[in-house]
Structure 1
């Protein structure tokens, strides 16, 4: 994970002097869709959810953003935020004013490279989500997802679930009821064992499907 943007002391002084650390309470909005896009953000601690409205007027969970990941990168090319960002838990985010950030990219190419790494990580995460949703069988989709979590945390058999199953279901494109049934069947088949905040995989060699 790229860390330059998380360590403010490593930033050029022109950018370091204007970045702001914002503290968000649970369910507090960082910004709303349609508001003036003045900054790009990186999550320092906590977790935020990104919501987009559907044609029916409901809010659709687009993604969940966790520590070290970027959000509102659209601000660099758009005048208004295209979605709403809400803290799911008490969180801290670092705000980078977009005009100063763009100036810093021109003056410090290595900073632009760090930003590209962050964007690449985000694209990779989105690709994973698309791959999961292309798996038709709910049980298989869930098992591939759990395997991904274990690999992401450098574990072979341990998938840590640090946010509610409702949000996991939304990320996988499943209803909470379907996710619950899939987990129950996987446990009954001896493929997983569930605990409060983590799941042990008994078949850890599943490969992410594309």
Structure 2
């Protein structure tokens, strides 16, 4: 039994309802996987045979337009899961997951997880709550992209990252091109807006880190999209 796999499962709130024996059973069926930058964890249309827990790196969930243009739906970072919604539907993946940099995951096969969910109703409820939260966040993201300009979208994103990360220093972990795609902006537009925020004293740019300096100003900018 891999202690590393047990530690990963034990550190996630999702699996807290499991007894030590149940956790060991699940860990025994898990597999550690590594993906080089640009490699696909799974592709749109493939059978959803399990879910991943991201241990290292960043994963982008993407779909492709008819003209071949890549559309980034969201980013998955360390400690978060990916693929569980399609897995529970026992269907195919509706989008592709691609490693932004070198990525390591813990892969949980569907069969092993279904067995435990059937035996442990509390875990099933937690997974349902987690999926519902992700759906609400995704709906909020779509709404934010559909209204407001570049300043509103960028401010909303930075405030969201601050909220989930618990600090004013935002580590992007992805290129500006990927972030621009996520926000529905051109890369040049994103760069200009970051420079404007910096010049106005809202943020400080430190390489791939963005330090938030003026939260109220960002909140006011984000609120403009609701008008």
TM, length-normalised to structure 2: 0.79
- 1:12 and 1:192 mapped to 2: Cα distance? 43
Instruction: Give the CA deviation at 1:35.
Output: 2.2
Q: Which runs of 4+ in 1 moved over 4 A?
A: 8-11
Q: Which runs of 5+ in 2 are unaligned?
A: 1-10
- 2:155 and 2:65 mapped to 1: Cα distance? 29
- 1:158 and 1:57 mapped to 2: Cα distance? 34
In structure 2, the partner of 1:199 is 210
Instruction: Give the CA deviation at 1:13.
Output: 3.9
Give 1 or 2: higher helix fraction.
2
* Residue 77 (structure 1) aligned with residue 100 (structure 2): no
After superposition, the C-alpha distances for 1:122-180 in whole angstroms (9 at most, x for unaligned) are: 2243144224314422123212322222232212x433322211121112111111101
Matches within 5 A, 1:1-210: 2-5=12-15, 11-73=22-84, 74-155=86-167, 157-205=168-216, 206-207=218-219, 209=223
After superposition, the C-alpha distances for 1:15-42 in whole angstroms (9 at most, x for unaligned) are: 2221112111222211222223211222
Q: Is the Cα–Cα contact under 8 Å of residues 50 and 62 in structure 1 kept in the other structure? A: yes
- 1:84 and 1:69 mapped to 2: Cα distance? 16
Instruction: Give the CA deviation at 1:121.
Output: 4.0
Instruction: Give the CA deviation at 1:72.
Output: 1.5
Q: Secondary structure at the match of 1:17?
A: helix
- Equivalent pairs counted in the alignment come to 208
